[in-house]
Amino acid sequence: MKITLLGAGAWGTALAIAFADKHAVTLWSREEDVAAELLVGRENRRFFPGYRLPESVSVSTDFTATVADAELLIIATPIAGLRPTVERLKALACVTPVLWVCKGFEAGSGKLPHQVVGEVLGKDVCCGALSGPSFAEEVAAGQPTAVALAASDPAFAREAARQLHTARLRIYANDDLVGVEVGGAVKNVLAIATGVCDGLGLGLNSRAALMTRGLAEIARLGMALGADRQTFMGLAGMGDLILTCTGDLSRNRRVGLALAQDKSLPQILGELGHVAEGVYTAREVDRLSKDLAVDMPISAAVAAVLDGRLTAARAVEQLMARDPREELA
């Protein structure tokens, strides 16, 4: 199959490496210097250093040509780049199936990725999300990974999962697109909370409690949006939450660790050098949960810390002071 990856950041590069042995892959970059470096040295030193791009992978900055030649498009931009990318696809009257790997709610609109894509491209284009417990570095290194491929069309989800499945990247079909996207979005917010917990030295008991109660928050919001509760017990729910909250490669967890040291958010993001989606998603989750009357105290605390309304230590104190309630209520 001819696959075009739209976006030559860490994820675009990692997936190009992962799919190169099985498919004809083109990696599109909007940055001329990144494309030139990939063509000459076969390494993405700017966004993903240390991993060699196979010679079989084509690299291009010609958006129109790479889209026209593809049988499957995978958008590998941050969520902020999703709408501009699909608007370019709409301008080309593109009907090629589309997947995306971005996670979060669109800033301002609060829309999930599939809502953005549907709003721009309509309902006639087959589309879906690729999400689950996966660090780009480990995917590129060929370390065993399992993720979910979710689409509203179950037949498309199954066929796309079958086509993309490799010996090292196991892909499971799922028809709960809302649930998979909510899990992928909110776990980033909770990873910030877990980073704060670890940074304050609150112990492993606290971390386990925080993650477990955080999963309950994810499920409550997802179900309010129409998701299946069972989805949150799978790869895109519990699986992604565990990885992002505990893995040292997690950017969002690193944000939390730095907040616990009372560093300012601009300083943290400057030192990080990459997008941490949970920073932007936290505000949208907090607003949405209030609009839907969904109880999400951990997410609300993260949003308050990021906005400077609470210190990390004070946020923990407020969470611990909440009245007890039934666990599964």
pLDDT for residue 329: 64
Q: Indicate if 111 belongs to the active site.
A: no
Looking up tokens 């104190």 gives: 317
Give the model confidence (pLDDT) of 130-187 as tens digits: 999 999 999 999 999 999 999 999 999 999 999 999 999 999 999 999 999 999 999 9
pTM confidence score:
0.96
Residues 186 and 217: their CA atoms lie apart, in Å, by 9
Pairwise CA distance, residues 181 & 183, whole Å: 5
* Cα 66 to Cα 30, 48, 89, 94, 101, distances in angstroms: 12, 21, 11, 12, 18
Residue 107: CB partners within 8 Å, gap ≥ 6? Answer: 79, 80, 280, 283, 284
- Domains delineated in the chain: 2-175 (3.40.50.720), 179-320 (1.10.1040.10)
- Smallest CA-to-CA distance from 252 within 200, 185, 182 is with 185
Q: What pLDDT, on the 0 to 100 scale, is given for residue 325?
A: 82
Ranges of residues in the chain whose predicted pLDDT is under 70:
329
- Residue by residue, DSSP assigns 192-246 as HHHHHHHHTT--HHHHHHHHHHHHHHHHHHHHHTT--GGGGGSIIIIIHHHHHHH
From the candidates 2, 187, 263, 290, give the one annotated as an active-site residue. 187
**pLDDT given at position 328:** 76
Q: Where are the beta strands (DSSP E) in 232-308?
A: none
Give strand pairing partners of 74.
5, 99
